[in-house]
Structure 1
Amino acid sequence: MTKLSVNINKIATLRNARGGDIPNVVEAALNIEKFGAEGITVHPRPDERHIRYSDCHDLKPVLTTEFNIEGKPIQKFIDLVLEVKPAQVTLVPDAEDAITSNAGWDTIKHREYLQDVIAEFKSNGVRTSIFVDPVKEMIEGAAKTGTDRIELYTESFAVDYAEGRPDSAKAYAQCAQLAHELGLGVNAGHDLSLKNLRYFKENVPHLAEVSIGHALISEALYLGLEKTIEHYLKLLK
């Protein structure tokens, strides 16, 4: 079955807006686990504009589900992952000025770099995943890096689905199947929501995990956090 990992960056954004500790990200993460989510995702940026590096240290000892840390593997990030040792690290090629993730890795151009980083994480017992676009060549390139999984970057599917073009899921299905055949686990994330997740899940095979943050936290403003997570779990199971 596909696991739901909730990205709590937006909770940290709200906290940071007032400079205090409300809402508390650890309390929120524990409630998210209590409501049935199977994982917690964070994506610290170098400027710590939402999740802080210290949050990762605070979360690791108390979480009982899978902890996934996403980010660009600059040295500061690598050090963080090796210190915290989450269940999974997802490597994302963030540009310095990116508001949010906006592209997958070129796994051919950056293969040697990714191989080195992934080898270090895996030798420390951390499962690895690479953020990739739904392009077969990038999936094949990912398999050569030694990664355990890929995470399909789903923004283009979400945009197409909202505009009445759900057939773009075919490219994701083909890439997921290829990844599976190459021995890679398949994750997915970015702009998945209650509106489009059912279609994506029904049409893309071998999904191990979806990571959802912005939409889920936004929907929780209307439905409540517990009810929103309940809806997501029903769509996935």
Structure 2
Amino acid sequence: MTASAPRHGTRGRALPLLLVAAAHDVRLEWLSELDDPRFSYRLVHSGHDTLRDLYRYQPDLLVLGLGVRDPGPWEVLRRVREMTEDLRVMVATRSFDTAEAVRALESGADDVLWLGMPDGLSNALIMARLRRATPVSPSEQLLEDGCLRLDLASREVTMGCQYVPLTALEFDLLHAFARNPGQVLTPEQLLHRAWRGRPGEDGDAHKVKYAVLRLRREIEGATGEKAPIETVRGVGYRYVLPGSHQA
């Protein structure tokens, strides 16, 4: 098995993307569980390539083998968590070791996988981490309001006929707003609706402020128009349909 290119673009892709970092001598039959029509994956073999592809492809999940080198897994994990708290990270090891698992979780990993897990369990854990990035039923996959078009199946956003490139978190944040037009959402509500299932959902409302700022910048950069997300001082934020007026 060789490193495979993603089947879709780096953003707005139809399938969630896993970045898998595994040493060259890893038992590749373990990776056969990743051949799943519900997601795509890219395989790399070094810490350097892992960090490079995090920037290049912005995956929805990182599976980090503890056998990778140049740099090693602990340095990769440290640098990943310096870059983002939002990326889901699972570490993979040859055999389960309690001390190693605790170190990984305390360093920012979300789950531990190991060779010899019961059949199907590693795949089920991966799907549990990706559940918010997988397609929904056709009847629920499209949200349109005359300005915004948000497709949950392809995870693509257009606004005013302009494609808006968003990260997975930004997409989920906009989805939370668009499902509740005109309603003021508090930072705590947004943490629950957009961060659910992500590391760090710990009531830290400051992360909401900066995520909304990034979302606004992406919308305004793509459309050249002011983002339809208002700040309600001391309360939270709301999505305002173009042409509507909020008192």
TM-score relative to the length of structure 2: 0.33
Higher helix share: 1
Pair member with larger Rg:
2
